[in-house]
Structure 1
């Protein structure tokens, strides 16, 4: 694999900024990072890009790769997302995606495998509401349905053997914030899942969208939440529950805005941004302009914004994930992560640096991905080069000029690097 140097650039390492620096890549890894004046004199291709900023490849810690649409990994990479974390998928899809991530021009793939579900619990109702095919019903019938410690152990053993998950996903959706009622697990069952997963060395993450559900699943001991609340204003009880676990939050603010329909204007703005042309399909663009609307009558996106403000002020780690999925109207793989970063800065008061950390080093730390999320010697050469300075203006993250995964340049951006 070729050795190359990018120099005369601003570098955000995921933790600090070098105003004029260089990075040396060799065999898919970062060989050195430093001041441009200290660039080594070696035989290697040199790319000089004054006025540009180099970032760690972004990590989208919450997607769902669509079984009917194979573009999740390729579209994510085009937008500078070098790692995606799938938060629920079926066995055959996981197997396909793990093979696909070995191909060029794809993001790296992490997965929960099959999430921990109960009979008629989330996400079964939302899937069957949109897909009434006999094939889908037959597939759902094969899912493990948890009831007790024995079934939990069997589920974890099966998931571990068949999927090799990177973390375990719990579902705790009563429907209270979405205007309907669902069956959902008891806190005792959720504690059993958390305890048994921890014995096997897994982190646990959980879906919840309303305050009561979030408090309950935090009581079970999960490491992090994959949504914030949309049903009511946050409380100090919520802060205490997060602090008790040292839990992190992936708020999925763009998805919350789609659930309430209040985010549609910003969704459309990102979908039609000229910088996204050629990077996103027409079907995906159209989906991003529509809304899920399940919480239109019962939720307010401002509750979501306020929850992030409160938790961030209390020292809770906020990590960046989009909840992008083919059926999830208002989202698009890759592009929605830039949308999420925009909301972090403009709706919840993060600095651009804090927002960028949330999609790089903080996520890598909380998910225990020790080989990525920062630009440092020995780590994966997952890189995002943008024109301008996203540390001043977060909107610059879409000025994409180059994306590398393991030191390999994404073909969608080759002409921009070579020009």
Structure 2
């Protein structure tokens, strides 16, 4: 199939005029389509914009925007898996064709495999088992609690045995876990080094939940691959991230959703969100100005942060220091590369034909990303208007 006439955002920082050709789920040519079949379908998308499918580097399929994590702790694994299936489908249909899913009870690995087999609809998914945390630490309700360097190494090995594609640990406390402090380092330096070293020995990347500057700096110096949130960045933390080539996944959506639903949030979650909101945005702006690599992620599933509204993170990034194309790139090509989906997130030959047809121009106004006409995954329309009707 050939899509012609559209403006194309390539997911690598560039914009060009089509056409884009794809066959058997992969992009075969862009800009200059010199080889065509006599029966090849051609769709005229004049006036539309093609962008890569959105890639969200931080989602929680086991959560659905509940006011408190305690609302889901009594669910059985079967109930959680049904929740994950529904949230994965909603996410795909909204235009997100790739995610990194922060697991619960190992269920995300089963979900990722089911999506890959085609048993259930969903985005391409990089999954882990559960977040590793200290005893009583942030996310302990659905996480794996450990204490001591040897227990940290054992947890990594156990998760790899189950099929975890990356490791995530909680370097600091969090906003949504009562009794934990977002600004305080949770693990010891020895424990953090053990987690990162063991994961890298097993060939997988490492993400860390980290709000406080001390936790960010400790994780970066240990060689972590991505910092999630990065709320209280200081100069030393930014320098450590730059020195160690660490990517920031800012999740600006998460505190915004809590503050704008304050009448329904728990008192502690609301108080912590009020404390971090402006600081979080300023830290993001400082990271952008310093040249820290940014990969878009929403923390979807956290309080009032519903699956299917993921693309708003691009708007938040654009409002806080990134140009529109930069923000789109952060949540397409950069996010895909960061989480290990190396053949998606860009409009280029050899990449999966994961595309969004936008009725508007998000290169000048990222709010136009809300005007999605069609979602394509692997060359097939999975949501929205059939391509033949758009080109009619």
Residue equivalent to 1:333: 307
Q: 2: CA distance between counterparts of 1:21 and 1:295?
A: 46
Q: Name the CA shift for 1:110/1:123 in 2 (closer, same or farther; >3 Å).
A: same
Asked whether the equivalents of residues 126 and 340 of structure 2 are also in contact (C-alpha less than 8 Å), the reply is no
Where does the alignment leave 5 or more consecutive residues of structure 1 unmatched? Answer: 128-139, 266-288
Q: 1:173 Cα deviation (Å)? A: 2.5
Residue equivalent to 2:135: 119
> CA RMSD of the aligned region, Å?
2.7
Q: 1:338 Cα deviation (Å)? A: 1.8
> What whole-Å deviation, never above 9, does each CA across 1:132-163 have from its counterpart, x for those lacking one?
xxxxxxxx6xx65323444333322221121x
Residue equivalent to 2:219: 217
Q: 1:181 Cα deviation (Å)? A: 3.6
Counting matched residue pairs gives 366
Residue equivalent to 1:185: 187
Q: Name the CA shift for 1:300/1:185 in 2 (closer, same or farther; >3 Å).
A: closer
Secondary structure, aligned partner of 2:271: coil
> What whole-Å deviation, never above 9, does each CA across 1:113-147 have from its counterpart, x for those lacking one?
222223222202xx4xxxxxxxxxxxx6xx65323
Q: 2: CA distance between counterparts of 1:42 and 1:156?
A: 53
Aligned match of 2:332 in 360, 370, 394?
360
Q: 2: CA distance between counterparts of 1:96 and 1:354?
A: 31
Q: 1: CA distance between counterparts of 2:13 and 2:208?
A: 31
Q: Name the CA shift for 1:12/1:292 in 2 (closer, same or farther; >3 Å).
A: farther
Residue equivalent to 2:74: none
Q: 1: CA distance between counterparts of 2:359 and 2:134?
A: 47
Asked whether the equivalents of residues 384 and 403 of structure 1 are also in contact (C-alpha less than 8 Å), the reply is yes
Q: Name the CA shift for 1:399/1:57 in 2 (closer, same or farther; >3 Å).
A: same
Asked whether the equivalents of residues 145 and 151 of structure 1 are also in contact (C-alpha less than 8 Å), the reply is no
Q: 2: CA distance between counterparts of 1:166 and 1:100?
A: 15
Q: 1: CA distance between counterparts of 2:209 and 2:292?
A: 17
Indicate whether 1:30 and 2:9 are aligned: no
Asked whether the equivalents of residues 325 and 363 of structure 2 are also in contact (C-alpha less than 8 Å), the reply is yes
Asked whether the equivalents of residues 177 and 210 of structure 1 are also in contact (C-alpha less than 8 Å), the reply is no
Indicate whether 1:321 and 2:275 are aligned: no
Q: 1:180 Cα deviation (Å)? A: 3.8
Secondary structure, aligned partner of 2:126: strand
Indicate whether 1:158 and 2:153 are aligned: no
Q: 1:57 Cα deviation (Å)? A: 0.9
Q: 2: CA distance between counterparts of 1:400 and 1:315?
A: 30
Q: 1:40 Cα deviation (Å)? A: 4.0
Q: 2: CA distance between counterparts of 1:49 and 1:372?
A: 22
Q: Name the CA shift for 1:16/1:196 in 2 (closer, same or farther; >3 Å).
A: closer
Where does the alignment leave 5 or more consecutive residues of structure 2 unmatched? Answer: 63-79
Indicate whether 1:378 and 2:380 are aligned: no
Q: 1: CA distance between counterparts of 2:27 and 2:293?
A: 27
Indicate whether 1:239 and 2:238 are aligned: yes
Q: 1:83 Cα deviation (Å)? A: 0.7
Q: Name the CA shift for 1:177/1:92 in 2 (closer, same or farther; >3 Å).
A: closer
Q: 1: CA distance between counterparts of 2:331 and 2:174?
A: 29
Residue equivalent to 1:88: 103
Residue equivalent to 2:66: none
Residue equivalent to 2:54: 58
The TM-score with structure 1 as length reference comes to: 0.80
Residue equivalent to 2:271: 296
Q: 1:220 Cα deviation (Å)? A: 2.9
Alignment of 1:193-272 (within 5 A): 193-229=195-231, 234-259=233-258, 261=259, 263-264=260-261
Indicate whether 1:391 and 2:377 are aligned: no
